[in-house]
Amino acid sequence: MSEGARPPARSARQMVLDLTRAPSFDPDDFLTSPTNAAAHDLVLAWPEWPSRTLLLVGPAGAGKSHLAAIWAGRAEARPFEPAALEELAPGAALLLEDADRAALPEASLFHLLNLVEEARGWLVVTARSAPDRWGVRTPDLLSRLRRAPIAAIGHPDAALLRAVLVKLFADRQIRIEADIVAYAALHCEQSLDAVSRFVAAVDEASLAEGRRITRPLAAKTLAALAEEKPALES
């Protein structure tokens, strides 16, 4: 390559696979809307909960992990590990994520619920659906889970997606036109994770191609994200 020549621009496909930036779980980055406000208020009402265990339920990409991380920071909770089943310190707080998909035996989960009660500790359990849809076979466990209060998060609505897009672009010091925000909110996968990936990808594409973010560039980036989604999930 001759001196001063620019390296060849990477394709949008290559850039999608390079998106490794960790999501921000800062409390100030959690934006509320009618789809998550009730869950947000209930989680932040800790420790004034009606139970020692709280279920945080919602679809993938709706913000469960973000809200759970905010609670964990306040409660000084640590992620659940099997060692917690041996002994739980009085008042300890634990976070068990994706309980509906975790490979945790039902007997262990039931034991964990009992330990939390005995230690007067706290437990937040995240899942994509309510316990009745987990396929729980132990009647006593299902009964206990049903008694736990549920903080439910819905799919992000259009207003929330637009607000998140504006904030993510602002965090990168990018002033984005309203029509591009509206287009992205309409055509992007309806999840906060997908919106975050889109902003990172279109920003990098803009830098790589040396042009501002336009609607055609947004469309090109969204197409690349859709094409590479199976690779990201593998």
Residue ranges of domains in the chain, CATH in brackets:
31-152 (3.40.50.300), 156-233 (1.10.8.60)
Q: How many Cα atoms within 13 Å fall on the side-chain side of residue 58? A: 24
Q: Residue 228: what pLDDT?
A: 78
Q: At what angle do helices 178-187 and 158-171 cross, to 10 degrees?
A: 120
Cα separation, 131 vs 21, whole angstroms: 32
Rounded average pLDDT over 8-21: 43
CA 184 to chain centre: 19
The per-residue DSSP string of 13-27 comes to: HHHHHT--PPPP--G
Global model pTM greater than 0.75: yes
Mean pLDDT over the full length of the chain = 87
The pLDDT tens digits for 91-126 are 999 999 999 988 889 999 999 999 999 999 999 999
CB 54 within 8 Å of CB 40: no
Cα separation, 77 vs 117, whole angstroms: 15
**Contact residues for 209 (Cβ-Cβ < 8 A; gap 6+):** 9, 217
Share of the chain above pLDDT 90, in %: 73
Q: How confident is the model at residue 14 (pLDDT cuts 50, 70, 90)?
A: very low
Q: How confident is the model at residue 7 (pLDDT cuts 50, 70, 90)?
A: very low
